[in-house]
C-alpha cells in the first residue's frame, strides 16, 4: 500500500489474483461435489449442467494463469523502472561531478558486453 492508504496497481492485481484463486477453488469444489454425488448417491447431473461446471472450472484456471502472468510482468516493469531511474540519476550525478568520461567508458563497456553475449541487436532494435 502507499503511504496514504491507497492500493498500488500491483496490490490490486494481487488481490484480484487471490479472488480468482478462490473462484477456482469454488469451481473445483463444485465439480468434486458433483462427482461425489454421482459415485455415492447415483445422482446424475444433466450434460448441460456438468458441462457448465467444467467450463467454469477451466475459466477460473485460465483467469488465475492470466493474473499470474500480469503479476510477473508488473514485477519486471517495476524492476526495469527502478533500474532505469537509478541509472539515470547516477549518470547525472557522475556527470555533474565532472566525471562524464566514466559514464562514456561504462556505456562502451556495457555495449561490448552485449555484443559478446550476442545480444547487441536485441538492445538496439
Q: What are 9-36's pLDDT values in tens digits?
A: 899 999 999 999 999 999 999 999 999 9
Can you tell me the distance from the alpha carbon of 105 to that of 94, in angstroms, rounded to the nearest whole number? 12
Residues composing the chain: 125
- How far, CA to CA in Å, does 79 sit from each of 25, 40, 103? 31, 52, 22
Residue 59's pLDDT band (boundaries 50, 70, 90)? very high
Asked if residues 56 and 30 have their Cβ atoms less than 8 Å apart, the reply is yes
pTM over 0.85: no
Q: CB neighbours of 8 closer than 8 A, spacing ≥ 6?
A: 1, 2
Amino acid at each position: 500500500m502507499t503511504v496514504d492508504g491507497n492500493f498500488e496497481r500491483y496490490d490490486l492485481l494481487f488481490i484480484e489474483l487471490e479472488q480468482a484463486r478462490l473462484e477456482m477453488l469454488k469451481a473445483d469444489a463444485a465439480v468434486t461435489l458433483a462427482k461425489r454425488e454421482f459415485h455415492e448417491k447415483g445422482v446424475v447431473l444433466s450434460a448441460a449442467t456438468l458441462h457448465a461446471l467444467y467450463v467454469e472450472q477451466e475459466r477460473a484456471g485460465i483467469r488465475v494463469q492470466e493474473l499470474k502472468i500480469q503479476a510477473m510482468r508488473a514485477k519486471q516493469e517495476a524492476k526495469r523502472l527502478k533500474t532505469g531511474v537509478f541509472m539515470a540519476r547516477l549518470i547525472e550525478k557522475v556527470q555533474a561531478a565532472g566525471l562524464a568520461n566514466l559514464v562514456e567508458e561504462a556505456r562502451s563497456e556495457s555495449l561490448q558486453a552485449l555484443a559478446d553475449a550476442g545480444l547487441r541487436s536485441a538492445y538496439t532494435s
